[in-house]
Amino acid sequence: MRIRARRKASSALTAGLALSTALFVASACSSSSHKTSNGGGGASGTPQITLQAASYHSPTSAFGRAITWWISSLESQSQGKVKVNMAWNGSLLSETEMKDGIASGRTKIGFLSEPYTPSAFPLARIVEVPFVTTNQLAQTEALNQLYADDTAFREEWTGQNLHVLSFVAAPPLITGAAQRITDLSWFKNKKIRAAGGLTQVLSALGASPQPIPVTGTYQAMQRGTIDAYSAVTFDLIPNLSLQEVGKYVLDMGTGGPASLELAMSQNTWTGLPSDVQGIITRLDSEFPTHVSSELKTADDAACAAIKKVGGSVSIFSADQTAQVKQLLGDKPKQDWAQRVVSKTDPQKLWDEYTSLIKTYEAKDVKAVSGTVRCAEQLGQK
């Protein structure tokens, strides 16, 4: 079993590894964010453990709802021994502060994402190479297994006082515009909001990527500063009201070139009783499936929002996707390999990663992305 293998690998590491996802954030070491008291906690009067937690997500987003499930399950299964105080929307730590906040002890638990501190995780940026898979859950399982099996990949995190409880791959990224995108020629000379791995893809198509924050995308579209938005997941469209300014959505088949991690610091993890660690380990193994389920619900809501305004969802054909890949060439993979060659054998890690993805894809051959599902519902694929 993957989870057992992973936990074995984890237990062989230094005893104090930390949960490495941006779910919870806690204050400094001996502060009130992780404290015990001798009264009243738990069914048998065991010490009460209070953990401050934080995420930059909204509690109503797909990730936010999955995080809420994780917290509620931890509190209920510990029978009152553990209490989690959650700070949402980056109110305690921002995206860029999360990694250091967890590692330094300012946070007890956190939900972080490698694109916000890319120089810290060159190996993990393997996910930024596009056109590997559009199966979000298969990519998630592959990352978790890679963390269990590959020493160099794991030590990139543990060497920074981070222990990944669960990786979660980002859903496939889409492009949206005020007019329907039908072929590759549409992109030429267009100004398009972009970030991460999508920047290289759009440049290869002749577009001009614009580094606009995702929260500024609506205004930029409304003012005509950009012609389209990209590097946004389908589920976020209604949250950002993007269907109002770009109701024609395209999925080029790039996949989701980013990952998120549920994490905790070493000192926090080693300071927890073994029974609480056991509960957390079980919940970690279930977390990716809950995220996937919540994303499906959010994708369906995005589809309804697109339909309501008379928009459409298009999927590039296999031939069109192949054309984009040809224009892009092998540059994304080569760039990644150059960044990691001093730390590991890039080709070996690449072969492990892609082989694991194929293995998990084969176990879930019926997996369909939200954009494909929506295109089929609207009769527009």
Write down all domains in the chain, each with its CATH number in brackets: 2-121+152-168+258-288 (3.40.190.170), 173-256+298-377 (3.40.190.170)
pLDDT of residue 27: 31
Chunked mean pLDDT (size 10), the chain, 381 residues: 39 32 31 46 63 90 95 95 92 92 90 90 95 94 96 95 92 95 95 89 96 91 97 92 98 91 88 94 95 95 97 95 95 96 98 97 85 91 60
pLDDT of residue 265: 86
pLDDT of residue 48: 86
Interatomic CA distance for residues 302 and 6, integer angstroms: 35
Class of residue 3 by CB neighbours under 10 A (exposed 0-12, middle 13-18, buried 19+) = middle
Interatomic CA distance for residues 193 and 213, integer angstroms: 8
pLDDT of residue 42: 55
pLDDT of residue 17: 28
Interatomic CA distance for residues 195 and 100, integer angstroms: 22
Q: Look-up: residue for tokens 């549409």?
A: 186
- Six token digits for residue 68: 């809420």
Q: Please give the distance of CA 175 from its chain centroid, rounded to a whole number.
A: 18
Maximum CA pair distance of the chain?
A: 68
pLDDT of residue 215: 84
* Cα dihedral sign, 183-184-185-186: positive
pLDDT of residue 133: 94
**Cβ–Cβ under 8 Å, residues 178 and 202:** no
Calculate the dihedral angle through the C-alpha atoms of 333, 335, 337, 342, rounding to the nearest 10 degrees. Answer: -170
pLDDT of residue 106: 86
Phi-psi region of 292 (alpha: psi -120 to 50; beta: other; left: phi over 0): alpha
